Structure 1
Amino acid sequence: MLARDDQNPPRRTPLYALHISLGGKMVPFAGYEMPVQYPAGVLKEHLHTRASAGLFDVSHMGQIALRPKSGRIEDAAKALERLVPQDIVAIPQGRQRYAQFTNSDGGILDDLMVANFGDHLFLVVNAACKAEDEAHLRAHLSDDCIIDSLGDRALIALQGPKAEAVLAKLCPETPSLKFMDAGPRKVDGLDCFVSRSGYTGEDGFEISVPAADAERLAKTLLADSDVLPIGLGARDSLRLEAGLCLYGHDIDTATTPVEAALEWSVQKSRRTGGARAGGFPGADKILGHFDRGAARRRVGLKAEGRAPVREGAALFADTTASEPIGKVTSGGFGPSLNAPVAMGYVPAALSALGTIVYAEVRGQRLPLAIAAMPFVKNTYKR
């Protein structure tokens, strides 16, 4: 049961009643009541998503439209580039890109998805940060853009190898979409925004749907025998196996994209030479990390034994060292691997694959090997 807080009661997504009817175990998360699991349990939900298709309620995420006052989409893109280190101008219509809001010290305020819908940019931001993100956009981009918070829309994710076949029954264009395609689509006759993306490492889709129609669409998808509802527990274990960052844990305001091993997300046009290099908050520090390297790095960690190493565990260079060299930021059991996996930060000098570090767990030093990520091969349709 949730603790009652009459001053700050948790919010509910448009699918709350459906979660209750499906036997969802509700917990507080990012200011919302969200299902952590259903009667099948986290393990079965995780494995079902890897083998078939899982439906996730991610309506707690923020959805924002940036509409250029000039009517030219490139003006909205150039404006957004003042806040992120990514090349937004180069995103073609019908595509999306992963990005980060950075601060003046190069840290990450939030990570987000940015799609080009032709006449405006569509942003999806993290639930815990969405109020601050919207305020950030209004403070810096209001001269160039109209900023619309799309609070009248829900967001659901259909993930897994059978997701395409399931969604194609309701949206015939589905098979033609490639990874990171995004745009308006009709789904079961509803005006939706569909992207071929997700947070599990599996092929799949995120579907923005009018809030009033969300329950009907979710029920239609769940009526397919290949689809199960999936809670936050399996969502977390799936993204950990996929090596994907969780904001506030693996990345935060004190972590640069280079430290977080997210260099791939910063295009060459924003970091070397030309007229559009730099110009975003913290550029000097972030570009310095590109040039000279960062002192620490996010790495994958695999335990030799069966005991999971959890978030917050201190990491040491050997079994006798008194000072930690880093810490675990995400950790747990990987059901697809039948073994524990983790992520954390270590000195760059100790980040080579195969290097052994030690996590302190209940007074013992457990060996962990620096491992390649993702832990489970992704199945995106490219």
Structure 2
Amino acid sequence: MTQELLKTPLHAVHLDAGAKMVPFAGYDMPVQYPLGVKKEHLHTRDNAGLFDVSHMGQLRLHGAGAAQFLESLVPVDIIDLPAGKQRYAFFTNPQGGIMDDLMVANLGSHLFVVVNAACKQQDIAHLQAHLPEGVELEVISDRALLALQGPKAAQVLARFAPQVSDMLFMDVRELEIAGLQCIVSRSGYTGEDGYEISVAEQDAAALAKLLTGEQEVEWIGLGARDSLRLECGLCLYGHDLDTTTTPVEASLLWAIQKVRRQGGEREGGFPGADVILKQIETKDVARKRVGLVGQTKAPVREGTELFDGEGKKIGVVTSGTAGPNAGKPVSMAYVQSDFSALDTEVFAEVRGKMLAMTVAKMPFVPQRYYRGV
């Protein structure tokens, strides 16, 4: 017996919009609409795209010790996160591996946390297993999550909530959009300017209809979401990150604030700290996450093995796309550290042929988050 797929509050809306639905993280999700994956990708880069990400887990942590508690499970500064701001974080295990990556927002009265759909139950269990007295975990099951992304996202959303224009990248506010109570962050997973909007499930269809009613906005599926995030060098959990990968191997040191590193006033104190802090100090890791650009036109997909010039295996591709805006095939991969320097040539085995690729800087296209004029 196969388990029945879950549906987001917008499932019927996707069917009406002509979406092609596929199983994803236990949900029946839209992979593309009649526009098609490539045109959806390009539309988001040029205009504004609306994504249903209601499959993600939404949680709240209440209590005076909530920030201190969450900080004990992540190598990230949560205690000093200002009200009205959000931050990227990841749960680590005792081996220093990444259990999931997540977004943490300080809404003043509590922390609002968004976790990956495939890891939702595991993350809830992890939090509950360590929950101290005085901190309450609330699992939100009656809200949808929408992402409005692209260079025209701000002007579209400001028609219904003018105050969103004043928000900067990673700002978060509770506000009304056309009279609907929402939690809005200026962030996203495309590398473009945009917003993620948590809304009561009974209001989700009305909000989606309002936004897609604007001429700049098209529905965008999982296919284009994947190529957009990859072009901008953003990891996908379960592909580019997993429980065997440390933040140092994953090139995520930027997400570990100095206060949590060696010599910081709150150094360590998270699962796997001994492993991660040692790797930071010694810079000694066997493999590194890198960006790769193809020297041919053939896309190099996840799972493709990588070799050096002598035919010795040196790594594996974890994500790959044709790169609609990059104009060339782009991939993410883990390679042996001595092959991780920029401009290093490696070879991908695709259908028996060795295709040359070059280690390149990420993101492959510029990130355009709004940080103010």
The normalised TM-score by structure 2 is 0.98
The counterpart of 1:282, out of the listed 251, 272, 289, is: 272
Pairing 1:315–2:306 present: yes
The counterpart of 2:327, out of the listed 329, 338, 343, is: 338
Tell me the alpha carbon deviations over residues 297-325 of structure 1, each in whole angstroms, 9 at most, x when there is no partner.
Answer: 1000000000000100111111x42x411
Q: For the Cα contact (< 8 Å) 2:20–2:30, is it kept in 1?
A: yes
Tell me the alpha carbon deviations over residues 15-48 of structure 1, each in whole angstroms, 9 at most, x when there is no partner.
Answer: 0000000000000000000000000000110000
Tell me the alpha carbon deviations over residues 84-122 of structure 1, each in whole angstroms, 9 at most, x when there is no partner.
Answer: 000001110000000000000000000000000001000
Deviating above 3 A after TM superposition, structure 1's stretches of 4 or more consecutive aligned residues are none
What code does the residue aligned with 2:107 have? F
Aligned residue in 2 for 1:348:
337
Aligned residue in 2 for 1:83:
73
Q: For the Cα contact (< 8 Å) 2:76–2:255, is it kept in 1?
A: yes
Q: For the Cα contact (< 8 Å) 1:80–1:141, is it kept in 2?
A: no
Aligned residue in 2 for 1:380:
369
The counterpart of 2:102, out of the listed 108, 112, 125, is: 112
**1:183 shift after superposition:** 2.2
Aligned residue in 2 for 1:124:
114
What code does the residue aligned with 2:140 have? L
The counterpart of 1:253, out of the listed 211, 218, 243, is: 243
| Structure 1, 138-147 or 88-97: larger mean CA deviation | 138-147
The counterpart of 2:357, out of the listed 361, 368, 373, is: 368
Measured in 1, the distance between the counterparts of 2:297 and 2:135 equals: 52
C-alpha RMSD of matched pairs (Å): 0.9
Measured in 1, the distance between the counterparts of 2:264 and 2:336 equals: 32
Partner SS for 2:133: coil
Q: For the Cα contact (< 8 Å) 1:95–1:180, is it kept in 2?
A: yes
The normalised TM-score by structure 1 is 0.96
Identity %: 60
Measured in 2, the distance between the counterparts of 1:18 and 1:126 equals: 22
Tell me the matched-pair count: 370
1:213-232 correspondence runs (5 A): 213-232=203-222
Measured in 2, the distance between the counterparts of 1:63 and 1:237 equals: 24
The counterpart of 1:47, out of the listed 32, 42, 45, is: 42
Measured in 2, the distance between the counterparts of 1:202 and 1:339 equals: 19
**1:350 shift after superposition:** 1.4
Pairing 1:167–2:152 present: no
| Structure 1, 344-353 or 366-375: larger mean CA deviation | 344-353
Q: For the Cα contact (< 8 Å) 2:69–2:132, is it kept in 1?
A: no
Measured in 1, the distance between the counterparts of 2:99 and 2:49 equals: 30
Partner SS for 1:11: coil
Measured in 1, the distance between the counterparts of 2:44 and 2:100 equals: 26
Partner SS for 2:15: helix
Q: For the Cα contact (< 8 Å) 1:79–1:144, is it kept in 2?
A: no
**1:295 shift after superposition:** 2.0
Give unmatched runs, 5+ long, in structure 1. Answer: none
